[in-house]
Amino acid sequence: MIDETHNTKRFFFEIPSSTDFQFEPGQFVTLDLPIHEQKNKRWRSYSIASAPNGTNGFELVIVLNEAGAGTTWLWENARVGTEILLRGPQGKFTMPKPLEQDLYLICTGTGIAPFRSMVQYVHEHQVEHRNIYLIFGCRKFNDTLYGAELRRLQDELPGFTYIPTYSRELPDNNLLQRTGYVHQVYEELIKQRSIEHQQAGGTGLSPAKFMLCGWKNMIDEARQRLVAMGYDKKDVHFELYG
């Protein structure tokens, strides 16, 4: 385990029965935690935060919910060597194939987990892609998850842009760091890309796919805004956290 922020930990798991834990970036696993007598009340699901790498290991990033039995048990009981039953991988919240259009990865909090997996995978496997924008929203600088890593990936991966957005902080001199909420960021990018699209001979909005992960209020608002801008609902995929 590694403390990522004051209330978020990175947990590293190994599957002893496998030498190669295969999953698609964006999928999740469900942990069976000893927090209730009824089996169906023990399951807790978390997106995998690492990319598949040919080993039996993977990573989860989990925020402490002090009112939640699952994360409280993990904080108080999980140690190196702790055995936890799980099922998975599961889920269809995975990257479009092929990546023929701009891809907007919009998230809040630990909703960044599946997107970190995706960007790592694109980088490591040199997947052909157009522009990828990862817009990460949180409250304060010390809530940032994987910030240094994603800035490094931005330097190494052509076409990838990482934009952290803080609702309760003023930006520093980093022009790609924003104050406010994620909605203003993706709307500005869409307008800019649509102008470039039209200048290149296209019409209307710049073709794009959108993936949303995080707090329900953010996802509900983003879906409404994107459809209001003119995008089809089928171009907007989402996964809720909490």
Domain positions in the chain are 2-90, 102-240
What is the C-alpha to C-alpha distance for residues 84 and 208, in angstroms, rounded to an integer?
Answer: 39
Coil, helix or strand at residue 150: helix
How much is the average pLDDT of 231-235? 96
54: left (phi over 0), alpha (psi -120 to 50) or beta: left
CA 183 from chain centre, in angstroms, equals 16
Q: Which residue has the tokens 């209307």?
A: 204
102-240: CATH topology: Rossmann fold (3.40.50)
Dmax (CA) of the chain: 62
91: left (phi over 0), alpha (psi -120 to 50) or beta: left
Which two three-digit tokens encode residue 178?
């924003």
Does pLDDT of 17 surpass 90? no
Q: What is the pLDDT of residues 69-115, one digit of tens each?
A: 999 999 999 999 999 999 999 999 999 999 999 999 999 999 999 99
Neighbour tally for 235: CB within 10 Å: 17
Does pLDDT of 216 surpass 60? yes
Q: Tell me if 20 sits within 8 A of 72, measured CB to CB.
A: no
How much is the average pLDDT of 127-137? 96
Task: Give pLDDT, residue 172.
Answer: 67
Q: Average per-residue pLDDT in the chain? A: 93
- Residue 138 to residues 10, 47, 182, Cα–Cα distance (Å): 17, 18, 9
Domain 2-90: CATH architecture, name and number where available: Beta Barrel (2.40)
CA 113 from chain centre, in angstroms, equals 4
Confidence of residue 168 (pLDDT cuts 50, 70, 90): confident
How much is the average pLDDT of 5-12? 95
Does pLDDT of 166 surpass 60? yes
Phi, psi angles (nearest 5°) of residue 158:
-55, 140
Q: Tell me if 222 sits within 8 A of 189, measured CB to CB.
A: no
How much is the average pLDDT of 170-195? 86
What is the C-alpha to C-alpha distance for residues 42 and 50, in angstroms, rounded to an integer?
Answer: 24
Taking the whole predicted model, whether its pTM rises above 0.85 is answered as: yes
How much is the average pLDDT of 36-65? 93
Partners of 135 in the β-ladder: 106, 163
How much is the average pLDDT of 220-241? 94
